[in-house]
Each structure stands twice: as C-alpha cells, then as structure tokens.
A = this chain, B = another copy of it.
Amino acid sequence: MITVLTGGTGGAKFVDGLRHIVPAEELTIVVNTGDDLRWWGLYVSPDIDSIAYMLAGKLSQERGWGVKGDTFFCLNAMAQMGQPTWFQTGDRDLATHVFRTKLLADGKTLSAATAEIAATLGIKTRILPMSDSRVETRVLTPAGDLSFEEYFVQRWYQDPVELVRFAGAAEAQPAPGVIEAIRSADLVLLAPSNPVTSIGPILAVPGIRKALRETSARIAAVSPIVGGTAVTGPAGTLMAAQGFAVSIAGVADFYGDFLDLLVVDSQDAPAAHALRNEALRNQALRKTGMRVHCTPTIMRKAEDRIALAKSVLDAARQPPTAPAAEERA
C-alpha cells in the first residue's frame, strides 16, 4: 500500500506516473486543501480537482488544471455580469464545483463529497482531503494578506512574501483515514509539490507530522527544487521566505524529521553527494539516516512521469543499508 501526499500541478503529474504502474486500489492520495476557495459562492478545491481529473484521465494537459477541451461560456457570461473571472472555471469543470457545493450544503463532509465525486468519475484510487476542516493558506505580502489563489493565480506570485500561515490549522483534524493511511502504508511518497504551500498545509494539520515520524512505512520525497530553483511556480520564493535554503538541502531540512529517502534530479548529483555526507554526520536527521537518490525528475512527457514513478519506487524498495544502489543512480 502506497500513500502519497500531494498538491499542485507537479503533484498531479507525479500521481499520473504512479497510476500507470501501481494498481488503483493500492494507492491513497492525501491532498492539500489549503488552496480551497469560495469562487462565485461555489466551493472549489483546486488540488483535489487536479488529482481527480488526472486519475479520471480528464485533466487538461496543456493547462495542467481543469478539464481537457473545456469551454468557458459560463465564465464569459459571468464577465458580462461584472463578476470576477481571474480564477478560470470551464463549463465542464463547473459541474464538479456545483456538485461539491451541493453535497457540502447537504451536510456532507469534504471527504464524503470527494469520495462521491471520485466515484462518479469512475476513480478507484482513494482520494482523501488532508482535513475536513477549513485550513486556509494565507500569504502575507506588502499588498495584503492574500489567499493562496489570490497570490498565485490572481497576482501571478509576483508579490514579495513576508509570511505564509495556515489559518485554522491548529483547530483542524486530519480527515478520516489520513492518519491510518500513513501509519498502515508500506511506503509514503511526498510528491514534487511546493513544500511550503502544497505539502506544508498537510504537515500543519495536527497529528499528520507525528504520524509520519512514527510510521513504519518508508517515506520518500521527490524534490521540487532542481539546480537551486523551483521546477515551476513559487516554491523557491516561498521556501526562502520560510527560512529554508532553495536547494535540495532545503527540501531535506523541510522533511528531515521523518524522511528516509530524498529523490533529486540527476543534475543535482554533486549537491546530493554533499547531502549524503551531511546526513551521515547529522544526528538531527532520522536515526536510519536519510538516503538521497538521483534520477531525472523533470516530467515533460508522459514517459518521464512513469520513469520517475518507477525510479522512486525502486529506490524506496532498496534496503536502507545498500548505499551502493544509490551510487548507481
């Protein structure tokens, strides 16, 4: 059994690779909901939608979000009525938001609504929101205290970031099944998502980080930082704002208290070597010692996604006492 923690478009690509090589029933996807927003009064959960559309084979590959081949007639009509349109919901995509909003209004939890939407889309893989409580990623900038989607989509992540916080996290509980999925898994994977705003909100839900520290599962993360910069999006800016190095070492620090294996891009081989030496010395890292595995991590094509998923699974399945296997990579 494999449990994946994910958020954002990089996460969805990684899950796409996994779904080709892991049976649907053996995967559980725990998804960031810190980006969730009320849009035109509808409850939108962008990261859950991306994972659901990806697993259903409906995700737009060109855009990386929304439904393949979608149209935007409702959006245009909203524009004509003077309503905001910076968050672009296509006509087909809208069905998901309307349906979810109805389920929540009927008193269902976000987990239950997610399960129902996944079922209607024919998805066999279990998708769990990190929490059924509202945990909202807030980005403090000179322009104001923004929601993540305001910062990321509306303002193109151009604002300097002073602080990232997860409003509501302290009072939140993990959604049903999340802790168990971490504790009972053979392998927990952290997708190459933004550590601060995609994985960070998940880790901020009380009990999840503890479960990661305590689980007997191997835990592997794929670094979204390659060559000292984020593959896409504002991960670099946000890591720096949170006081982490924008490097694979920064990612190792971010996950250091529970990580067994960090998968980094082949071009980071020298940095990986330095990190291995540090891991051997640094007792603050997990007692088992964190391993580092180098492999191509940039997912341009569908084959890249599958190759990365395979490489991560292979590396994670190596016995922890086989450094030679890592050196081969």
For A159, the chain B residues whose CB sits under 8 A away are none
A77–B67 touching, CB < 8 Å:
yes
Question: Count of A residues near B, CB < 8 Å?
Answer: 32
- If A78-B95, A120-B82 touch, whether A70 touches B73 (CB-CB below 8 Å) is yes
0/1 string, A56-75, CB within 8 A of B gives 1? 00000000000100110111
The verdict on A83 contacting chain B, using a C-beta distance below 8 Å, is yes
Residue of B whose beta carbon sits closest to that of A67: B77
Quick one: given A41-B105, A91-B91, A105-B41, are A98 and B120 in contact (CB under 8 Å)? Answer: no
Contact pick for A95, options B74, B95, B101, B106, CB 8 Å: B74
Distance in angstroms between the alpha carbons of A106 and B41 in the assembled complex = 9
State whether the Cβ of A86 lies closer than 8 Å to any Cβ in chain B: no
Closest beta carbon of chain B to A210's beta carbon, Å: 36
Residue A94 is within 8 A (CB to CB) of chain B in the complex: yes
Give A163-206 as 1s and 0s: 1 = Cβ < 8 Å from B's Cβ atoms.
Answer: 00000000000000000000000000000000000000000000
Q: Is A92 an interface residue (CB 8 A)?
A: yes
Q: Could you tell me if B71 and A83 are in contact, using CB atoms closer than 8 angstroms?
A: no
The digit string for A37-55, where 1 denotes a CB below 8 A from any CB of B, is 0001110000000000000
Q: How far is the CB of A42 from chain B (nearest CB, A)?
A: 7
Q: How far is the CA of A77 from the CA of B97 in the complex (A)?
A: 11
Determine whether the beta carbon of B67 is less than 8 Å from that of A99: no
Beyond known contacts A78-B95, A81-B121: 10 more, CB 8 A cutoff: A41-B102, A70-B73, A71-B71, A73-B92, A75-B95, A77-B91, A81-B117, A83-B99, A91-B94, A94-B98
Q: Residues on A close to B: CB < 8 A?
A: 40-42, 67, 70-71, 73-78, 80-83, 90-96, 98-99, 101-102, 105-106, 117, 120-121
- Pairs of residues from A and B, 9 with the lowest C-beta to C-beta distance, nearest first: A41-B102, A77-B95, A73-B91, A81-B120, A77-B92, A91-B91, A74-B91, A78-B95, A74-B95
13 residue pairs A–B, Cβ–Cβ below 8 Å: A40-B99, A41-B102, A73-B91, A74-B91, A75-B95, A76-B92, A77-B94, A78-B98, A80-B121, A81-B117, A82-B120, A83-B99, A91-B91
